[in-house]
Amino acid sequence: MINTIPIHYFLLLSAMLFTIGMLGVIFRRNALIVFMSIELMLNAVNLTLVTFSRFRGDSSGHVIAFLVMAVAAAEAAVGLAIIINIFRHKKVVNIDTMDRMKY
């Protein structure tokens, strides 16, 4: 009995991590920390995918988690380039000040 893990433990862990990431996006104004919170949310979703994949004994969920990782890499590259560009123009990374499309 000690060697079995109920599936809902994994789902609750995933929900908690997702919530922490979401609160980070809502509360923090530093663009870099907002970005890291988004990565945290993506990882929480990956944990859910892998959990259900293990539950069904079908590794399709692993493939989707792999694709999510690729999307996260693309998103991080473009997002960080945008942050660098805005920092070069405005010398801040506070997202409250990023309220225009063009400077």
* Least distance to other proteins, CB of residue 89, Å: 11
Question: Residues 32 to 91: which contact other proteins by CB under 8 A?
Answer: 32-33, 35-37, 39-40, 43, 46-47, 50-51, 53-55, 57, 59-60, 62-67, 69-78, 80-85, 87-88, 91
Residues 58, 2: Cα–Cα separation, whole Å: 25
Per-position x/- string for 14-43, each x denoting binding to other proteins as judged by CB under 8 A, each - no binding: -xxx-xxxxxx-xxxxx-xx-xxx-xx--x
Residue placing its CB nearer to other proteins in the complex, 2 or 101: 2
Instruction: Establish if 100 lies at the interface with other proteins (CB under 8 A).
Output: no
The answer to whether 10 and 51 have CB atoms below 8 angstroms apart is yes
Cβ partners under 8 Å of residue 27, min gap 6: none
Residue 94 β-bridge partners: 30
Q: Which of 5, 45, 99, 101 binds other proteins (CB under 8 A)?
A: 5
Output the CA torsion 35→40→44→45 (10° steps): 20
* Least distance to other proteins, CB of residue 39, Å: 6
Residue 30 β-bridge partners: 94
